[in-house]
Amino acid sequence: MRLYIQKIKVVICRGLILLPASLFGGQVFAQSSNIVQLLKISDRARGGLEKGASWEISLKSVEEGNESERTFAVKAKGDNAFVEALAPSRNKGEVYVFNDRSMWFFKPTLKKPVVVSSREKMTGQAANGDIASTHYARDYVPTLETTVVEGDDKLYVILLKAKSKQVTYDQIRYWISEKTKLGVKAEFLTLQGKPFKLATFEYKNSIVQGGKKAPFVSQMTLVDSKFKDNRSVMVYTNPKAESHPDAIFNVNNVTR
Amino acid sequence: MKEYFSDFALSDQNQEFSTFVNRNSEAISITEGLGEILGRRAPFDQLPENQRDVQLAAKSFLGDFNAVNGVLGPRHSTGLPYLEDLSVIMPLKALQNLLLTDGVSSVALFLRESVSTSTFMEILRKEFMKLGILVDLYPYYGDDIGMFYSGTMGFLFAIGGFFFILILGAVILSVVNTITIGIIERTREIGTLRAIGFKPSDLSELFFKENLVISVFCVGLGILFSESIATAINNSGIRFRPTGVAKDVPFMVLPEVWMSVSVAIPLIILTCVTAYFVAFRKTKVGLVHLLTDPGG
């Protein structure tokens, strides 16, 4: 009898210990899956559409007083993107192919495409990866740092840590609106966690996908965190949801 | 061009590259170290055609990413290990295409040793002025561009100067000592010459002339001896690798004529002047003392 009572006590004790742990673990799991879901939604508004989309980017930069402007046509599908330079005329015909996390540069005078890093500076504050690599949910491990209230909206502050060295940034602190589920701003951090670049997003464009109208990024402003006058503004125009053949994202087809 | 420029500019390495460029405008020459990084093993001109095709990428002067084709041809060495995987030689046009420019920011000219840098700079300055091109000209030894060179050479000259003063002191003392003892040992000879009617000035002149002939002969013999040793060393093909140099280099001894002459002339003067004064002082001693001197 005593033995049974002792066994019952052990089971109750274990239950008392495991119940809160399982409840807490579940909460953590639910929270992290919510964050990933939130990231996926915000990624879609910045071009990460599974079925494909296209848009144009006008990239204006001011770097140490020197102004430059470039225009690109972007065709994206899932993890891949095909970016073609439209202007200025000296860059016309240059192509960047993003295939998964790899990136190539090609222009008609080259015999073969050149492998480039998405981290490399394209012009001004914009890195190569800023043009089309928008898959934060895929490329980074998210951790909810805190939430902040701004006006009548609540913002989730999420720390994103790179899953591989091929991605554009090592760490990003990303603010997502609870109301719109869109990324509002981002701080790009060094490996030591210090911000070196700031980005703000605007969503005045819209895109129709699956019969539904969804907001789409209209402007991304990148500012050097130390020298505020050094900045790049990416203006997104003509966003369209459209399907693209997989062949255009195959780097072997670029030279043909 | 041959009048002013060093053989380096017209070396086999550069001539080979020029010939290759004439055949292929995309030709580039890389170092063996850079080849290893690219996964290409030298000699590059013997690689299969698909392995010789490379792309060169860089940020242009306009801040854009750019790339051009290149075909691996001859290889070269910079001579410095820390540059052995950083150097590319390519035609100016191809480099301008890569950097999106039609100009050049600097040109280095390698001159023959016989060409005076300052004179050549003056000629160049006048020529550029005639063309209306504004250029800044710097000699390789100037602090503006050659801090490493001028610093290293300054250090070497300081060390060399210190040893020169040490050796000079030892040589002066040895020469003065040897000649003084030599003349003292010949005191009786001086006395005899004085006894048969030689004046003190005649004797001093005699010793002066004797030492002049001996020192000129010995200096000539010394120069001949050092030249023959240098020739023997240079022909023996000894090679060594100095610190900070990529490959081994021949050990060469190259005696400079100006340096030999600048050492020989003071040495001859020192010998003759010493002989004259020691002999002159000896002739001032009384004749009896000179003839009875035990001689050193």
- Give the ipTM of the model, two decimals please: 0.74
The answer to whether residue B50 neighbours chain A at the CB level (below 8 Å) is no
Contact A156, A144 (CB under 8 A): yes
Measured CA to CA in angstroms, residue A50 lies from A44, A76, A176 at distances of: 8, 9, 21
Q: Where are the domains of chain A?
A: 47-254
Q: How many helices (DSSP H) and strands (DSSP E) are in chain A?
A: 4, 17
Measured CA to CA in angstroms, residue A231 lies from A66, A121, A222 at distances of: 11, 13, 6
Residues of chain B with pLDDT > 70, as a percent, come to 96
Q: pLDDT tens across A177-198, in order?
A: 999 999 999 999 998 899 999 9
Structure confidence at residue A200 as a pLDDT band (50, 70, 90):
very high
Measured CA to CA in angstroms, residue B28 lies from B16, B17, B210 at distances of: 11, 8, 67
Q: How far apart, in Å, do the first and last CA atoms of chain A sit?
A: 84
Structure confidence at residue B97 as a pLDDT band (50, 70, 90):
very high
Q: How many helices (DSSP H) and strands (DSSP E) are in chain B?
A: 10, 6
Average the pLDDT over B90-103 and give the result: 91
Residues 6+ apart with CB under 8 A from A168: A118, A119, A127, A128, A129, A130, A133, A139
Q: CB A114 to CB B62 under 8 A?
A: no
Q: How many Cβ atoms sit within 10 Å of the Cβ of residue B78?
A: 16
What span, in angstroms and rounded, lies between the C-alpha atoms of B251 and B233?
8
**Minimum distance, in Å, between the CA of residue B70 and any CA atom of chain A:** 9
Average the pLDDT over A240-244 and give the result: 90
At A135 the pLDDT is: 85
For B64, the closest of A91, A109, A116 (CB atoms) is A91
Asked if residue A145 has pLDDT above 50, the reply is yes
Residues of B in contact with A109 (CB under 8 A): 68-69
Residues of A in contact with B69 (CB under 8 A): 109-111
Superfamily name and number for A47-254: Lipoprotein localisation LolA/LolB/LppX (2.50.20.10)
Q: pLDDT tens across B169-213, in order?
A: 999 999 999 999 999 899 899 899 989 989 989 999 999 999 999
The answer to whether residue B62 neighbours chain A at the CB level (below 8 Å) is yes
**Most confident listed range (B86-90, B131-135, B206-210):** B206-210
Asked if residue A24 has pLDDT above 50, the reply is no
The closest alpha carbon to A117, from A166, A70, A163, A188, belongs to A166
Q: Where are the domains of chain B?
A: 12-105, 147-292
Q: Which residue did the predictor score with more confidence, B294 or A72?
A: A72
Measured CA to CA in angstroms, residue B39 lies from A54, B4, B33, B77 at distances of: 38, 39, 10, 18
Q: Specify the pairing of strand B27-30 against strand B65-75.
A: parallel
Residues of chain B with pLDDT > 90, as a percent, come to 42
What span, in angstroms and rounded, lies between the C-alpha atoms of B53 and B26?
9
The answer to whether residue B65 neighbours chain A at the CB level (below 8 Å) is yes
What span, in angstroms and rounded, lies between the C-alpha atoms of A101 and A117?
10
The closest alpha carbon to A126, from A235, A236, A238, A221, belongs to A221
Q: CB A123 to CB B100 under 8 A?
A: no
The closest alpha carbon to B179, from B292, B268, B265, belongs to B268
Measured CA to CA in angstroms, residue A192 lies from A161, A170, A188, A195 at distances of: 12, 9, 11, 9
At A18 the pLDDT is: 46
